[in-house]
Structure 1
Amino acid sequence: MATPGQLMFARRLGPTARLLIWLLVGASCVVLDTHYHALEGVRSGFSLLLQPVREATRAPAAVAAELGGFFTRHRLLQKERDTLLAERARLIAGVNAARDLARENAELRALMQLQTRPGQQMVRAASLYQGHDWFSQRITLDLGAGAGLRSGLPVIDTIGLVGQVSRVFPGASEVTLVSNPDQLTPVFVERTGQRGLAAGSGHGQMELRYMPTQTDIRPGDRLLTSGIDRVYPAGIPVARVSRVSRSQSSPYLRVECLPLAGLDRSRAVLVLVAEPRVAQP
Structure 2
Amino acid sequence: MAGTDHAPPPFFKRGPAPLALLTFYLALSLALFVIDLRLQSLDLLRQSVALVTDPIQRIAQTPGSLVDNAAAYLRGLHDLLDENARLKQAQLRLAPDLARLEHLASENERLRKLLSVKEREKASGEVARIMYTARDPFTHRIIIDKGQQSGIVAGQPAIDEAGVVGQVTRVFPFSAEITLITDKDQTVPVQVVRSGQRSVVFGLGGGQLELRYLPANADIKEGDLLVTSGLDGIYLPGFPVARVVSIERENSYAFARIRCAPIAAVENFGEVLVLSPRQPQAPRPPDSPGRSGNTGAPSKPGDK
Unaligned residue ranges in structure 2 (runs of 5+): 1-84, 283-304
**Amino acid paired to 1:172:** S
| Distance in 2 (alpha carbons) for counterparts of 1:206 and 1:278 | 30
Other-structure match for 1:144: 147
| Distance in 2 (alpha carbons) for counterparts of 1:278 and 1:185 | 20
- Indicate the percent of aligned positions where both proteins have the same amino acid: 41
Cα 1:88–1:157 change in 2 (3 A) is same
Query: What TM-score, normalized to structure 1?
Result: 0.64
**Amino acid paired to 1:219:** E
Picking from 96, 99, 102, the partner of 2:102 is 99
* Pairing of 1:14-163 with structure 2 (within 5 A): 92-114=95-117, 115=119, 117-118=121-122, 120-133=123-136, 135-163=138-166
Other-structure match for 1:203: 206
Cα 1:223–1:277 change in 2 (3 A) is closer
CA drift of 1:89 comes to 6.4
Picking from 230, 233, 236, the partner of 1:233 is 236
**Amino acid paired to 1:265:** N
CA contact (8 A) 1:152 1:164 kept: yes
Other-structure match for 2:297: none
Which protein, 1 or 2, shows the higher relative CO under an 8 Å CA cutoff with sep ≥ 6?
1
Picking from 193, 196, 209, the partner of 2:196 is 193
Other-structure match for 2:253: 250
CA drift of 1:133 comes to 3.7
* RMSD (Å) for aligned C-alpha atoms: 2.6
1:21-74: CA deviation from partner (whole Å, max 9, x where unpaired): xxxxxxxxxxxxxxxxxxxxxxxxxxxxxxxxxxxxxxxxxxxxxxxxxxxxxx
CA drift of 1:165 comes to 0.2
CA contact (8 A) 2:155 2:277 kept: no
| Distance in 2 (alpha carbons) for counterparts of 1:246 and 1:110 | 38
88-97 vs 164-173, which moves further: 88-97
CA contact (8 A) 1:116 1:122 kept: no
Unaligned residue ranges in structure 1 (runs of 5+): 1-80
| Distance in 2 (alpha carbons) for counterparts of 1:205 and 1:265 | 14
Q: Secondary structure at the match of 2:134?
A: coil
Q: Secondary structure at the match of 1:136?
A: coil
Q: Secondary structure at the match of 2:253?
A: coil
**Amino acid paired to 1:106:** E
